[in-house]
């Protein structure tokens, strides 16, 4: 449950999913970074970082999920 909804249900902050979200974001960053690292072996670190940040952004992920056939 997202932290913003907790007061509506009388729950304390420890019941939120923020820690799990933190872990999921880190795992996603790692997977995307490793994929691009192998896909573009000659690309500089700064360019890989920019590419990863664009691909792993919430709006890009949401669009790709919503556009599935």
- Tell me which residue range forms the domain holding 59: 3-66
- At 20 the pLDDT is 84
pTM greater than the 0.75 cutoff = no
Select the more confidently predicted residue: 19 or 68: 19
Q: Residue 69 has what pLDDT?
A: 54
Query: What's the structural domain count of the chain?
Result: 1
Nearest to 39 by CA among 52, 29, 26: 52
> CB count, 10 Å around CB of 8?
8
Helices and strands, number each (H, E), in the chain: 3, 0
The tens digit of pLDDT for each residue in 1-57 reads 666 666 676 666 666 677 888 898 899 889 989 999 999 999 999 999 999 888 777
Q: What is the CATH number of the domain that holds 28?
A: 1.10.1520.10
């Amino acid at each position: 449950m997202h932290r913003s909804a907790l007061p509506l249900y009388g729950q304390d902050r420890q019941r939120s999913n923020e820690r799990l979200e933190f872990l999921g974001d880190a795992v996603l960053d790692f997977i995307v970074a490793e994929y691009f690292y192998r896909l573009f072996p000659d690309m500089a670190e700064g360019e890989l970082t920019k590419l990863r940040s664009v691909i792993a952004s919430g709006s890009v992920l949401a669009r790709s999920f919503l556009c599935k056939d």
